[in-house]
Amino acid sequence: MKVIKLLFLILFINVFAQNSAENPVPDYNFPKIKSSITMPVAIPLAEISNIINASVKDLIYQDDSYTDNNNDQFKVKVWKTRPIRLVGGTNQNILIEVPLKIWAEKGIGTLGVYTYQNTTFETVMSFSTTINFQSNWTLKTNTEPNGFRWVVKPVLDFGRIKIPITGLVEKSLIEQQQKFSKTIDQQLATQLNFQQYAVMAWNAFSNPFNISEEYKTWLKITPIKVNITPLKFYSNQIGTELGIDVFSETFTGTQPASSPLIKTAANFSSVPALNDTFLLQTTANIPFTEATEIARNMFLNREYDIRGSSVKIKDIKVYGVDDKVMIEAETEGYIKGKAFISGIPVYDETRKKIVLSNTKFNLRTANILQKTATLLFRGRIVKIIEEEYGIPTQELEKSSEKSIEEAFNKEYYKGLKMTGAVFNLKPGQIFMNPYGITAVIDTNATLKLTVKEI
């Protein structure tokens, strides 16, 4: 038997078509298929830390006057010594630590005569931030001061006199900590607006995917609705899950119209939980020209022995009749005529083929005296068709899995990184269209969306 070659077009899901001068690609729109995609989303705390660090200057506070604050004879400067650190808290919050170096100078004396002494020490300023994801794609934060942790309490050493200045320093730091809280919330509200990412992701599907210029195949995905689970806080990231309801459509021939672009993403719905995998369904079209070529490679010029005589298949073609595939074989030799074998196309997972079931046989011949021979030929050819004829899908499945994983592991927009894997892909429902056989492809996969450089 000749080696059967079946060309599959691959990008997201493979779609069969034919594009030649003799057989141009027909215009055909396959049915809309509603499906859903579930994506875990991770927001690294390091990215939020970058936002906060960028908004807080190294020199945080400076008091250069001895005479302000009721002539307190006190100066102070506060610096950020290391990057501000964020960790996930245990109460659906974020803990923020700001390491500080403090220089302080204090004067002691009377009647306008003062002796000044300075010291440098370090402390850690703490905050607690609660975060809520608003349905309009923004994060609302509420940052509250959470006290200080002194490494060494500040003391001015005047020899015999040692003056603790913790109270003076803390008074200034408490005031600044209140201001920091507002600054943090303002910066996070400005920077953590995911409306732009929602619009980008939604509009990414506005244009149909050009799967192949040569074969004029298109895949169009239309988002319908977005569901989101409550935020979860971990030590190094914030997580949630997005469930996207979509319509997927396959087109052959003329490019389908693009969907209108949106400027604002619709509000999402909050749901308690989503599955951690998704099922994506799309269609693959196998033209009757391809199905005919497979049949010719298998059966053309093949001879069968019937009661010591030979029956040869002179020509063969495949086409559709209602919901059935019809194989029309022209025979010569002992039985001269046309044999018609029809069957319902189904996917055989064991054989990795689209095969015929419930096969029926009919023979048109001028020799009506060959009834016995006809019965023998019928049993022989029907059995061969059922056992041998089929449209291989193994290459489709392997290539589709590879191409989908390639599509799922890309950064389509700066700051949005996708990673994913397919763990099950196979044809499911099979039905007829005017130009060929349409297979619905069921895909189970995992998909993760990571937000970076927000």
- Bridge partners (DSSP) of residue 305 are 310
Please spell the DSSP secondary structure of 56-93, one letter per residue.
S-SEEEEE--SSHHHH--EEEEEEE-S--EEEE-SSSE
Per-residue pLDDT, averaged over 118-131, amounts to 88
**Given the structure tokens 């730091």, which residue do they identify?**
173
Per-residue pLDDT, averaged over 129-156, amounts to 86
Instruction: Report how far apart, in Å, the C-alpha atoms of 221 and of each of 207, 279, 291, 411, 421 are.
Output: 9, 14, 28, 18, 19
Domain residue limits, the chain: 45-191
Query: For the segment 312-336, what is each residue's pLDDT rounded down to a tens digit?
Result: 899 999 999 999 999 999 988 888 8
The residue ranking higher by pLDDT, 55 or 85, is: 85
Q: Choose the CATH number for 45-191 among 3.40.50, 3.15.10, 2.60.40, 1.20.120.
A: 3.15.10
For residue 57, name the pLDDT band (cuts at 50, 70, 90). Answer: confident
**Given the structure tokens 């245990």, which residue do they identify?**
90
Q: Which of 425, 428, 429, 416 is nearest to 445 (CA)?
A: 425
Using CA of residue 20, residue 23, residue 28, residue 33, what is the dihedral sign? negative
Q: Hey, which of 3-17, 132-146, 353-367 has the most confident mean pLDDT?
A: 132-146
- Tell whether the model's pLDDT for residue 417 goes beyond 90: no
pLDDT computed for residue 345 by the predictor:
95
Per-residue pLDDT, averaged over 427-438, amounts to 85
The residue ranking higher by pLDDT, 154 or 353, is: 353
Query: For the segment 254-269, what is each residue's pLDDT rounded down to a tens digit?
Result: 788 888 899 988 899 9
- Tell whether the model's pLDDT for residue 216 goes beyond 70: no
C-beta of residue 221 within 8 angstroms of C-beta of residue 246? yes
Query: For the segment 380-404, what is each residue's pLDDT rounded down to a tens digit?
Result: 888 888 888 888 888 767 777 777 7
- Tell whether the model's pLDDT for residue 252 goes beyond 80: no
- Tell whether the model's pLDDT for residue 113 goes beyond 90: no
Helix, strand, coil content of the chain in percent (nearest 5): 20, 50, 30
pLDDT computed for residue 95 by the predictor:
92
Eight-class DSSP state of 409: S
pLDDT computed for residue 355 by the predictor:
93
Distance from C-alpha of 398 to C-alpha of 404, rounded to nearest angstrom: 10
pLDDT computed for residue 213 by the predictor:
61
pLDDT computed for residue 187 by the predictor:
82
Token readout for 401 is: 């899995």
Please spell the DSSP secondary structure of 180-213, one letter per residue.
HHHHHHHHHHHH-BTHHHHHHHHHTTSSPEEEET
- Bridge partners (DSSP) of residue 158 are 161
What's the full length of the chain, in residues? 454
pLDDT computed for residue 354 by the predictor:
92
The residue ranking higher by pLDDT, 431 or 347, is: 347
pTM of the full structure:
0.62
C-beta of residue 426 within 8 angstroms of C-beta of residue 397? yes
pLDDT computed for residue 129 by the predictor:
92
Run of H or E residues at 55:
helix 45-55
In a 13 Å sphere around the CA of 426, the CA atoms on its Cβ side amount to 12
pLDDT computed for residue 285 by the predictor:
74
pLDDT computed for residue 186 by the predictor:
86
pLDDT computed for residue 16 by the predictor:
31
For residue 5, name the pLDDT band (cuts at 50, 70, 90). Answer: very low
